[in-house]
């Protein structure tokens, strides 16, 4: 009987190994869709228009032949490249204490409607967060929510990846907008 039991154990062992290896082989394909970390912020963009040098947090630095550097171009701003250094706040009040800076660029990239492409970082250096979160992706501005990629991070956000859902929380003419960003990290190290 002992051998019978040994056999049972051997078989269970063998089966478990198979299960293990099949799981591991595909481990980079089966992922939980539950975030390992979530964060929400607002950031505030005041575009330079030739008259607001003191308050402006962003500026047009590239424009198509039909545009210029103090006014967004015709055809839904197509081709305008904007560099920004925007304050990040925890609520939607631009006067709240900034917890970091959103730094990088966006490009308006469609003639028929407002859309843009973003490359930027959230830069944190407070007691609560130290380190950067890096973002890239297409932003179809007219959609209520839109997703871009978290492509990496440093410091507290070492090697992270995820999705950031962007919502336009306020839009005031050509000078001010406020975005809400809900960050869901799915890879945390």
CB of 127 to a copy of itself, least distance (A): 18
Q: State the binding string over 165-184 for a copy of itself (x if CB under 8 A, else -).
A: --------------------
Of the listed pieces 39-47, 88-96, 147-155, 168-176, which binds a copy of itself according to CB under 8 A?
Answer: 147-155
Chain centre distance of CA 93 = 20
**Cα 178–Cα 185–Cα 177 angle in degrees, nearest 5:** 5
Residue 60 binds to a copy of itself (criterion: CB under 8 A) = yes
**63 touches a copy of itself (CB under 8 A):** yes
Nearer to a copy of itself among residue 15 and residue 174 (C-beta) = 15
Determine which residue in the list 96, 98, 114, 154 makes contact with a copy of itself, applying CB under 8 A.
154
144 sits near a copy of itself (criterion: CB under 8 A): no
Tell which positions 86-105 bind a copy of itself, by CB under 8 A. Answer: 101, 103-105
Taking the least distance from each CB to a copy of itself, the nearer of 158 and 171 is 158
Question: Which of 90, 96, 114, 136 forms a contact with a copy of itself (CB under 8 A)?
Answer: 136
């Amino acid at each position: 009987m002992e051998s019978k039991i040994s056999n049972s154990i051997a078989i269970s062992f063998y089966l478990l190994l198979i299960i293990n290896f099949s799981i591991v082989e595909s481990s980079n394909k089966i992922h939980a869709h539950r975030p390992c970390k979530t964060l929400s912020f607002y950031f505030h963009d005041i575009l330079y228009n030739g008259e607001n040098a003191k308050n402006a947090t962003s500026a047009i630095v590239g424009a198509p032949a039909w545009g210029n550097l103090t006014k967004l171009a015709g055809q839904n701003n197509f081709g305008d490249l904007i560099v920004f250094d925007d304050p990040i706040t925890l609520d939607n009040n631009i006067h709240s204490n900034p917890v970091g800076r959103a730094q990088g660029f966006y490009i308006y990239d469609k003639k028929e409607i407002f859309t843009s492409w973003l490359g930027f970082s959230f830069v944190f250096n407070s007691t609560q967060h130290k380190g950067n979160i890096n973002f890239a992706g297409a932003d179809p501005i007219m959609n209520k929510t839109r997703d871009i990629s978290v492509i990496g991070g440093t410091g507290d956000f070492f090697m992270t990846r995820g999705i950031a859902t962007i919502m336009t929380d306020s839009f005031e003419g050509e000078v001010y907008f406020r975005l809400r960003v809900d960050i869901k990290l799915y890879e945390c190290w």
